[in-house]
Chains A and B, each alone.
Chain A
Amino acid sequence: MAQGRSKHLLPGFGLTLGVSMLYLSIIVVLPLLAMLLKVGGMGWEEFWRIVASNRALAAYRITFSSALAATVINGALGLLLAWVLTRYSFPGRRLLDALVDLPFALPTAVAGLVLVTLFAPIGWYGQLLEPNGFKVNYTQTGIIIAMAFTSIPFVVRAVQPVLEEVQVELEEAAQTLGATRFQTFARVIWPTILPAFMAGCVLSFARSLGEFGAVVFIAGNLPGLTEIVSLLIFIRLDEYNYEGAAALAFVLLLAAFVTLLVTNALQAWQVRYAEKVR
């Protein structure tokens, strides 16, 4: 390579730029463009009629509230698991650490199959819960459980590295100055892990919004009651109602884009925060 002409020190800029752009254009951009064209071609009134229809509004409400509930559950469980895994040394710690990844590795259809069987009236968990009036299958509780299961690892994996970095000196200083354990956590540890915790929660929420495989098995899929947005899109496709599917898919795409921006902002905050503390 002629060195004077190239402004880059390392080789391969042209090649990797070409391959990346070509690949991403064909695999990612072109399909997204095809859908955007479909949405753009339908006109504002038609679009609004679809995305603001009663059935769609009910689906947003169910999807959003379930994802929120699942995120709250995972926030609490994730914090507990991350804390135990980083703070304590005990037999089986590495096994527990590896187990946390299972929901990422287990296919969502398998997760759905297992959950609907566990919570069936004669299932291992269902036979304990149903006599007490606690019904899971084919209710919103089932949706929440499916969403929570598939996104357990997000908060744990976001908080874990930051918790490991918390300086012991700061905690010891706080305790020497007379802080109780709870005060040390609330005033010293919590502010440090907050950005990472929030980032983990946003990822968990985004995954829950889009979860399909695990939910369709357990939700029962009743319009207006247990029908999530992803499923409504699937039904519209099945009915060959492509406008309906495109408009709703656009809404989910927009939601994914927003969560991606929020995650990036939170991660930037976390990096700035870590640098300030250091």
Chain B
Amino acid sequence: MSQMVQQALDGSPPTEGVVAHRAAANVTTPARSRGEIALIALAFLVAGALLVVPVALIFAFALREGLGAYFSSIAEPTTLHAIGLTVLTAVVVVPVNILVGVCIAWLVSRFRFPGRQVLITIVELPAAVSPIVAGTVYLFLYGGQGLLGPALQGAGIQLMFTVTAIILVSLFVTAPFVARELIPLMQQQGTEDEEAALSLGANGWQMFWFVTLPNIRWAILYGAILTNARVMGEFGAVSVVSGSIRGQTNTLPLQISQLFNDFNVTGAFAAASTLTLMALLTVVLKSALEARAGWR
């Protein structure tokens, strides 16, 4: 990595002289000890071996037969379809999650009512269970032998092994994602601004639109980014409810798994590289948002 990039990332020039100068100016900053250097080196070694090398491997394997093979792997109809289905799921799930997350956060952070703690636990539970359990509970609701499945099938509605089931189970696993970011922030911000707006004659929607929303918009974006990453990457829950029909109900993670099981290594890694780009973008946006404001 070049020094320029290092400086940009760190925000401080890494030259020896400046460090020495800082040490002289500020007595509480001792010169870098041997132990300190060893720990920093160890941290980079761990991060390199566990995080950087795996990402490098994805692109190395995806591109090992050249750019042409890479793009034709991605342009494979079933892979293209999987990409489309994954994007569609995220496009539906993320906005729903934002709307409901704001509702839940407003309710929990602004009011005290009986059952509040139970509600918080219900919101949190889906993220705590195994994704396989998430898929299984949906099977017992909408499956052929499920609670509502037979009645729905009688009415001509088939939910299991369809895109609807994928969307529903994605909503389940990401239930707490936006609310979880908003609740502590809104509790910390308090209600003074909102009460002031109301006392100045704003109605409920005006208060929400002009006072609440501007205060929480970055946290909403943050929650939306995390929701998106989870939805696009969900494997266990979707693998139970989707039926994994190639070109029909295969999301990208399922497609990767099938390609790998077919020994189509380049295809699997090419498909994986698209999700890896999404993950890298997620990490960059997340860290930019955290750096932007001291709200976290």
Q: Which residues of A contact B (CB under 8 A)?
A: 1, 8-13, 15-17, 19-21, 23-24, 27-35, 37-38, 77, 80-81, 83-85, 88-111, 113-115, 117-118, 124, 149, 152, 168, 172, 181, 206, 209-213, 217, 229-231, 233-234, 237, 242, 245-246, 249, 252-253, 256-257, 259-260
> Which single member of B40, B121, B132 contacts A249 (CB below 8 Å)?
B132
For A252, the chain B residues whose CB sits under 8 A away are 129-130, 132-133
In the complex the two chains form, what is the Cα distance from A251 to B260 in whole Å?
Answer: 31
Of the candidate stretches B67-75, B213-221, B276-284, the one touching chain A is B276-284
User: Contact between B53 and A124 (Cβ–Cβ < 8 Å)?
Assistant: yes
Given contacts A10-B198, A84-B40, A110-B253, contact A105 B283 (CB under 8 A): yes
User: Contact between A91 and B10 (Cβ–Cβ < 8 Å)?
Assistant: yes
User: Contact between B124 and A109 (Cβ–Cβ < 8 Å)?
Assistant: no
Instruction: Looking at the assembled complex, report how far the CB atom of A165 sits from the nearest CB atom of chain B, in whole angstroms.
Output: 14
10 nearest interchain CB pairs? A107-B233, A210-B130, A213-B235, A11-B204, A212-B236, A109-B253, A91-B6, A105-B279, A91-B14, A98-B287
**B138 CB within 8 Å of chain A:** yes
Q: How many A-B residue pairs have CB under 8 A?
A: 289
Q: Map CB proximity to A onto B255-296 as digits: 1 under 8 Å, 0 otherwise.
A: 011001000010011001001101110111011000100000
For A242, the chain B residues whose CB sits under 8 A away are 139-140, 143, 145
For B125, the chain A residues whose CB sits under 8 A away are 28, 32, 256-257, 260
**B150 CB within 8 Å of chain A:** no
Since A84-B42, A118-B57 are in contact, a sample of 13 more A-B pairs with Cβ atoms closer than 8 Å, ordered by chain A residue number, is A9-B191, A9-B195, A11-B198, A28-B123, A33-B147, A93-B9, A96-B47, A108-B233, A114-B54, A114-B57, A114-B58, A149-B54, A213-B235
In the complex the two chains form, what is the Cα distance from A172 to B107 in whole Å?
Answer: 44
**B89 CB within 8 Å of chain A:** no
In chain B between 163 and 181, which residues have their CB closer than 8 angstroms to a CB of chain A?
168, 171-172, 175
For B283, the chain A residues whose CB sits under 8 A away are 98-99, 101-102, 105
Instruction: Looking at the assembled complex, report how far the CB atom of B246 sits from the nearest CB atom of chain A, in whole angstroms.
Output: 15
Q: Which residues of B contact A (CB under 8 A)?
A: 1, 3, 6-7, 9-12, 14, 28, 32, 35-36, 39-40, 42-44, 46-47, 50-55, 57-58, 61, 100, 103-104, 106-107, 110-111, 113, 119, 121-126, 128-133, 136-141, 143, 145-148, 168, 171-172, 175, 191, 194-195, 198, 203-204, 207-208, 226, 229, 232-236, 239-240, 252-254, 256-257, 260, 265, 268-269, 272, 275-276, 278-280, 282-284, 286-287, 291
Interface centre among A27, A217, A253 (most CB of B within 10 A): A27
In the complex the two chains form, what is the Cα distance from A135 to B285 in whole Å?
Answer: 37
Instruction: Please report whether the interface of chain A is mostly helix, strand, loop or mixed according to DSSP.
Output: helix
User: Contact between B11 and A94 (Cβ–Cβ < 8 Å)?
Assistant: yes
User: Contact between B253 and A233 (Cβ–Cβ < 8 Å)?
Assistant: no
User: Contact between B191 and A10 (Cβ–Cβ < 8 Å)?
Assistant: yes
> Which single member of A27, A110, A114 contacts B172 (CB below 8 Å)?
A27
In the complex the two chains form, what is the Cα distance from A23 to B139 in whole Å?
Answer: 19
Given contacts A17-B107, A91-B14, A109-B235, contact A23 B100 (CB under 8 A): yes
User: Contact between A113 and B147 (Cβ–Cβ < 8 Å)?
Assistant: no
> Which single member of A33, A80, A104, A217 contacts B260 (CB below 8 Å)?
A217
In the complex the two chains form, what is the Cα distance from A12 to B204 in whole Å?
Answer: 7
User: Contact between A8 and B111 (Cβ–Cβ < 8 Å)?
Assistant: yes
User: Contact between A110 and B279 (Cβ–Cβ < 8 Å)?
Assistant: yes
Instruction: Looking at the assembled complex, report how far the CB atom of B209 sits from the nearest CB atom of chain A, in whole angstroms.
Output: 12
Instruction: Looking at the assembled complex, report how far the CB atom of A82 sits from the nearest CB atom of chain B, in whole angstroms.
Output: 10
User: Contact between A27 and B168 (Cβ–Cβ < 8 Å)?
Assistant: yes
For A211, the chain B residues whose CB sits under 8 A away are 130
For A31, the chain B residues whose CB sits under 8 A away are 137-138, 140-141, 172
For A84, the chain B residues whose CB sits under 8 A away are 39-40, 42-43
Smallest Cβ-Cβ distance to A264: which chain B residue: B121
Instruction: Looking at the assembled complex, report how far the CB atom of A8 sits from the nearest CB atom of chain B, in whole angstroms.
Output: 6
User: Contact between B253 and A213 (Cβ–Cβ < 8 Å)?
Assistant: yes
User: Contact between B130 and A12 (Cβ–Cβ < 8 Å)?
Assistant: no
In the complex the two chains form, what is the Cα distance from A152 to B54 in whole Å?
Answer: 14
> Which single member of B44, B122, B171 contacts A96 (CB below 8 Å)?
B44
Instruction: Looking at the assembled complex, report how far the CB atom of B212 sits from the nearest CB atom of chain A, in whole angstroms.
Output: 10
In the complex the two chains form, what is the Cα distance from A24 to B203 in whole Å?
Answer: 28
User: Contact between B268 and A113 (Cβ–Cβ < 8 Å)?
Assistant: yes
User: Contact between B284 and A98 (Cβ–Cβ < 8 Å)?
Assistant: yes
User: Contact between B10 and A149 (Cβ–Cβ < 8 Å)?
Assistant: no
Interface centre among A77, A229, A253 (most CB of B within 10 A): A253
> Which single member of B119, B132, B233 contacts A110 (CB below 8 Å)?
B233
Smallest Cβ-Cβ distance to A11: which chain B residue: B204
User: Contact between B253 and A234 (Cβ–Cβ < 8 Å)?
Assistant: no
Given contacts A28-B125, A92-B44, A109-B257, contact A230 B236 (CB under 8 A): yes
